[in-house]
Structure 1
Amino acid sequence: MIELQTFATDSLVLTEGDSTDIVGFADGQGHPDFPCLSPTHSPSSCVPCIDFSPWLRPRVRWGDADAVGEYLWRVRQANPGVGDSVEQFRQHYRALAGMILAAPLTQHLAG
């Protein structure tokens, strides 16, 4: 049995196991082949199926580059580019998320 740690942020409570469970957050509302993308738009248009900001906000606050990278991968998965393997693309989006989180954005963000 895996013991999960619980974290509370504002009124949102998450467990450590949720850190990369973006598909669970989409809750079956997405495209059958790309669960985080809109079921009514072409998957290659990379339109998310729901507003993921409630899922992203605490992860950005925590500096969780893996989770933010997973979000980037999931919304680009149907049209990631050419030339690399799936794992190389995932690594690319995780690295990109790390750079985004490392940028000094606080001066531009309110609250």
Structure 2
Amino acid sequence: MATTFARKFYDEQLDYLSAHDVDGLIDDHYNEDAILVGFDFTVKGNAALKEHFRNYLKTLGRIDVKSTDKFNETADTIFFEASVVTDLGPATVFDAIVLKNGKISYHFTGVK
């Protein structure tokens, strides 16, 4: 089975998060003016994204992706649901990503 750009991008995203490599994550995957939107926050720009992800990963501790339960893509979007376990316990994450020139411009995220 061929691996698409979106699936490779998603797998890299997980690798960055698991390694707590915030600089690599943001520098390689987000456009300079990217926006991350959650129900309780909006973060814009690489410097703010780095600060957000550093705090987020510190809070979560470890991240183990147990399964990618749903995954869909187009030429410029990625939409997925995944089951994860962190130091806070099990959770389901939902993310929708809009790409421009191969990097994230808009990232919508939720956790349940």
Q: TM-score, normalised by structure 2?
A: 0.35
Q: Considering fraction of residues, name the structure with more helix.
A: 1
- TM-score normalised per structure 1: 0.35
* Higher normalized contact order (CA 8 Å, seq sep 6+, divided by chain length): 2
Between Structure 1 and Structure 2, which shows a larger proportion of strand residues? Answer: 2
